[in-house]
Structure formats: C-alpha cells, structure tokens
C-alpha cells in the first residue's frame, strides 16, 4: 500500500483494452472456497489441482463482470500470491509498484486504515513487515524476472512519458493518444 498503485492503475486502465478492477477481494475469496490448497496432508498433485481451481474461480468471477480484454487487480497483498498467479496464469503480467521505502512506510503509518493490521500502527512492526515484503518480492523476481515489471513512483512522476511507454511495452499494449 501507499506505493503508487492507484496512479499506475489509472495510467494502465486508461488504455482502451484494460479495465480497472481496483482492490478486489476475489482472489482471497477463491482461496477461502478452495481451502484444501493449505492442507499439508494432500498430495502434490491435489495441491496443484487446488491451485488451478483457485485461479479458475478467480478468473471466472472476473470474466462475469469484465468488458475489456485485460484487467488490473491492485490489491496490495497480492504480492504474496505472485508465484501462484504466474505459475497458473502463463499470460499474466505483474506490475510491482515501488516507492521510496521511507515515503511508503511513513504514508502507511500516518494513514488510518479501517480494520488495519497491527503493523500499520507500530513503526518497528512496519519496518519488519516492509523488509519481509521486499525479501518476498526479491524471491519472485529471481523466479519470474521477465514477467514482473517494477513501476517506480518517483520515476513515473519525474519522466512520465518514458515510464508510461515502458509500462505499455511490458504489457504488450500499443500506445494510445488518451
């Protein structure tokens, strides 16, 4: 959160082929429906099937309401599911929104999120959470580097035209006047 996800979503969804879904809970709901994915007693094949079921349910729900060819899901906690998303959805692209760590953490700390997790109100926990998030994203980057694009907030603000063109190229979208 507080890393520029709204800015990036507004930019990318201004393209005629992309629809902004916002911070949707569909992926989390799909996990709840297919909870067997977390069961340590099932076979690897059953876990793989459960992963596919999670992503299929997620996509089916989205397709039922979606009108555009592509969509964005800017739920900040999706960083935890990058491995699943990119393993099961071979055409998926992940846009990793980044911002100066101090700016990000201070913005989280000063924002009063409704029902917020404890880490948002404690600077020590916030720092630990941020480090864990960075470590996880580094892991995903090592595994799926070419399918993860870093959209840096400061770079986007400083050189918008260049950064937008790079973002569109990563998504295999042609530039549009709008």
Does 35 score more than 80 pLDDT?
A: no
Q: How far is CA 73 from CA 9, 11, 47, 56, 136, in A?
A: 8, 13, 24, 15, 19
Q: Which residue has the higher pLDDT, 122 or 150?
A: 150
Q: How many CB atoms lie within 10 A of CB 7?
A: 16
Q: Bridge partners of 18?
A: 70
**pLDDT digits 0-9 by tens, 60-71:** 999 999 899 999
Residue among 165, 170, 125, 163 at smallest CA distance from 144? 170
Query: What tens digit of pLDDT does each residue of 85-106 get?
Result: 999 899 999 999 999 999 999 9
- CA distances from residue 128 to 2, 78, 108, 123, 152 in whole angstroms, order as listed: 17, 18, 13, 9, 21
Instruction: Quote the pTM value.
Output: 0.89
Per the CB < 8 A criterion, the answer to whether 105 and 132 are in contact is no
Q: How many CB atoms lie within 10 A of CB 176?
A: 10
What is each CA distance from 108 to 9, 22, 101, in whole angstroms? 19, 18, 11
Separation between Cα atoms, residue 178 and residue 85, nearest integer Å: 29
At 177, the pLDDT band (50, 70, 90 cuts) reads: confident
Please indicate whether residue 50 or residue 72 has the higher confidence score (pLDDT): 72
To the nearest whole number, what is the mean pLDDT of the chain? 91
Is beta strand 94-98 parallel, antiparallel or unpaired with respect to 18-20?
unpaired
The 10s digit of each residue's pLDDT in 9-27 is: 999 999 999 999 999 999 8
Q: What is the DSSP string of 124-135?
A: HHHHHHHHHHHH
Reported as a single tens digit per residue, the pLDDT across 127-144 is 999 999 999 999 999 999
């Amino acid at each position: 959160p507080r890393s520029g996800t709204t800015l990036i979503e507004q930019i990318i969804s201004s393209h005629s082929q992309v629809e902004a879904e916002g911070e949707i809970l569909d992926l989390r709901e799909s996990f709840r429906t297919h909870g067997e994915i977390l069961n340590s007693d099932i076979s690897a094949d059953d876990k793989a099937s459960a992963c596919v079921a999670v992503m299929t349910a997620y996509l089916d729900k989205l397709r039922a309401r979606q009108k555009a060819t592509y969509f964005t899901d800017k739920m900040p906690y999706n960083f935890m599911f990058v491995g699943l998303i990119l393993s099961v959805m071979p055409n998926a692209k992940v846009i990793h929104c980044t911002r100066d760590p101090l700016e990000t953490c201070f913005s989280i700390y000063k924002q009063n999120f409704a029902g917020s997790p404890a880490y948002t109100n404690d600077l020590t926990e916030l720092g630990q959470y941020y480090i864990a998030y960075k470590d996880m994203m580094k892991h995903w980057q090592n595994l799926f580097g070419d399918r993860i694009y870093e959209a840096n907030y400061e770079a986007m603000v400083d050189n918008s035209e260049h950064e937008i063109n790079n973002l569109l190229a990563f998504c295999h979208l042609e530039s549009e006047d709008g």
